[in-house]
Amino acid sequence: MKNFGLIGKKLEHSYSPLVHKMLGDNISGSYNYELLEVEEDDLETLIKNDKYSGFNVTIPYKKLAMKYCDEISKEALEIGSINTIVKVDGKIKGYNTDYYGFNYLLKSNNINPEGLKCIVLGSGGSSLTVQAVLKDLKAREVVVISRSGANNYKNLNLHYDAQIIVNTTPVGMYPNSGVSLLDLSKFENCRGVVDLIYNPHMTRLLIDAKIKGIPHVGGLEMLVAQAKKSSELFKGFKINKNEIKRIVGNVKDETLNIILIGMPGSGKSHIGKMMAESLEREFFDTDKLIEKREGMSIPEIFEKRGEEYFRRVETEVLKEVCKEKKAVISTGGGIVTRDENYPIIRENSEIFWIKRDLKDLEVKDRPISLSTPLEELYEQRKELYKAWSDKIIDNPKGSNYSFGIIKDDCYIDNRWSVLVINGPNINMLGIREKGIYGDKSYNTLNKMIQEKANKLNIKLEIFQSNHEGDIVDKIQESYFKGYDGIVINPAGYTHTSVAILDAIKAVQIPTVEVHISDVNNREDFRKVSYVREACVESISNRGFKGYLDAIDFLYENYSD
Ligand X SMILES: O=C(O)C1=C[C@@H](OP(=O)(O)O)[C@@H](O)[C@H](O)C1
Ligand Y SMILES: Nc1ncnc2c1ncn2[C@@H]1O[C@H](COP(=O)(O)OP(=O)(O)O)[C@@H](O)[C@H]1O
Name the residue whose CB lies closest to ligand Y: 267
User: Scanning residues 293 to 332, which ones bind Mg ion (CB under 5 A)?
Assistant: none
Residue 249 binds what, of ligand Y, ligand X, Mg ion, none (CB under 5 to 8 Å, by partner type)?
Answer: none
The C-alpha angle 357, 362, 364, rounded to 5 degrees, equals 155
Nearest to 449, CA basis, from 472, 476, 434, 429: 429
**What CA–CA distance (Å, rounded) separates 328 from 46?**
40
Nearest to 68, CA basis, from 235, 59, 57, 128: 57
Q: Among residues 8, 265, 272, 343, which is the contact residue for ligand X, using CB under 6 A?
A: 265
**What CA–CA distance (Å, rounded) separates 25 from 87?**
22
**What CA–CA distance (Å, rounded) separates 4 from 252?**
23
Q: Tell me, what DSSP letter sits at residue 534?
A: G
Contact 165, 192 (CB under 8 A): yes
Q: In the stretch 302-341, what mask flags binding to ligand X with x, by CB under 6 A?
A: ------------------------------xxx-------
Among this protein's residues, is 515 annotated catalytic?
Answer: yes
Q: Is 63 annotated as a binding residue?
A: no
* Measured CA distances, 45 to 37, 80, 473 (Å): 13, 22, 64
Q: Does residue number 345 form part of the binding site for ligand X (CB under 6 A)? A: no
Complex with ligand X: residue 406 or 534, whichever CB lies closer: 406
Among this protein's residues, is 216 annotated catalytic?
Answer: no
Total Cβ atoms within 10 A of residue 431:
12
User: Scanning residues 132 to 171, which ones bind ligand Y (CB under 6 A)?
Assistant: none
Q: What's the CA dihedral at 27, 32, 38, 40 to 10 degrees?
A: -60
Q: Is 389 annotated as a binding residue?
A: no
Name the strand (E) or helix (H) holding 375.
helix 374-388
Complex with ligand Y: residue 366 or 452, whichever CB lies closer: 366
Report in angstroms how near the CB of residue 351 gets to ligand X at its nearest. Answer: 15
Contact 241, 108 (CB under 8 A): no
Residues paired with residue 54 on neighbouring β-strands, in sequence order = 4, 86
- Catalytic option among 515, 530, 547, 555: 515
Residue 489 binds what, of Mg ion, ligand Y, ligand X, none (CB under 5 to 8 Å, by partner type)?
Answer: none
Q: What's the CA dihedral at 508, 512, 513, 515 to 10 degrees?
A: -160
Within 13 Å and on the Cβ side, how many CA atoms surround 339? 3
Residue 267 binds what, of ligand X, ligand Y, Mg ion, none (CB under 5 to 8 Å, by partner type)?
Answer: ligand Y
Longest CA pairwise span in the chain (Å): 83
Under rule CB under 5 A, how many of the chain's residues touch Mg ion? 2
Report in angstroms how near the CB of residue 461 gets to ligand Y at its nearest. Answer: 24
Q: Which amino acid is at 447?
A: K
Cis peptide before 200 (omega within 30 of 0): yes
Complex with ligand Y: residue 176 or 371, whichever CB lies closer: 371
- Catalytic option among 95, 100, 385, 437: 437
Q: Does residue number 265 form part of the binding site for ligand Y (CB under 6 A)? A: yes
Q: Does residue number 192 form part of the binding site for ligand Y (CB under 6 A)? A: no
Q: Is 268 annotated as a binding residue?
A: yes
User: Scanning residues 192 to 251, which ones bind ligand X (CB under 6 A)?
Assistant: none
Phi/psi at 509 (5° precision) = -100, 135
Residues paired with residue 36 on neighbouring β-strands, in sequence order = 7
Under rule CB under 6 A, how many of the chain's residues touch ligand X? 12
Total Cβ atoms within 10 A of residue 11:
18
Report in angstroms how near the CB of residue 363 gets to ligand X at its nearest. Answer: 9
Residue 368 binds what, of Mg ion, ligand Y, ligand X, none (CB under 5 to 8 Å, by partner type)?
Answer: ligand X
**What CA–CA distance (Å, rounded) separates 73 from 93?**
8
Contact 232, 101 (CB under 8 A): no
Q: Is 526 annotated as a binding residue?
A: yes
Show Cβ contacts of residue 191 under 8 Å, excluding neighbours closer than 6 positions.
116, 163, 164, 214, 215
Q: Does residue number 362 form part of the binding site for ligand Y (CB under 6 A)? A: yes
Complex with ligand Y: residue 207 or 298, whichever CB lies closer: 298
Report in angstroms how near the CB of residue 300 gets to ligand X at its nearest. Answer: 11
Sequence-ordered strand ranges (E) for 136-217:
141-145, 164-167, 192-195, 216-217
Q: Does residue number 269 form part of the binding site for Mg ion (CB under 5 A)? A: yes
Q: Among residues 169, 177, 250, 269, which is the contact residue for ligand Y, using CB under 6 A?
A: 269
Q: Among residues 84, 169, 255, 330, which is the contact residue for ligand Y, using CB under 6 A?
A: 330
**What CA–CA distance (Å, rounded) separates 341 from 329?**
14
Q: Which of these segments, 7-15, 81-89, 264-272, 486-494, binds ligand X (CB under 6 A)?
A: 264-272
Q: Tell me, what DSSP letter sits at residue 349?
A: E
Q: Does residue number 395 form part of the binding site for Mg ion (CB under 5 A)? A: no
Q: Does residue number 367 form part of the binding site for ligand X (CB under 6 A)? A: yes
Q: Which of these segments, 7-15, 181-189, 200-208, 265-273, binds ligand X (CB under 6 A)?
A: 265-273
Complex with ligand Y: residue 160 or 378, whichever CB lies closer: 378
Name the residue whose CB lies closest to ligand X: 332
User: Scanning residues 228 to 247, which ones bind ligand Y (CB under 6 A)?
Assistant: none
Q: Which of these segments, 48-56, 169-177, 363-371, 468-476, binds ligand X (CB under 6 A)?
A: 363-371
Q: Among residues 368, 449, 472, 548, which is the contact residue for ligand X, using CB under 6 A?
A: 368
DSSP string, 302-329: HHHH-HHHHHHHHHHHHHHHTT-SS-EE
Q: Which amino acid is at 45?
A: T
Q: Is 335 annotated as a binding residue?
A: no
- The binding site for ligand Y (CB under 6 A) comprises 262, 264-270, 330, 362, 395, 401
- The binding site for ligand X (CB under 6 A) comprises 264-265, 268-269, 287, 298, 332-334, 366-368
Q: Would you list which residues are annotated within the binding site?
A: 265-270, 287, 311, 333, 366, 381, 489, 495, 502, 516-517, 526
Q: Would you list which residues are annotated within the binding site for Mg(2+)?
A: 269
- The binding site for Mg ion (CB under 5 A) comprises 268-269
Q: Annotated active-site positions, please? A: 437, 515
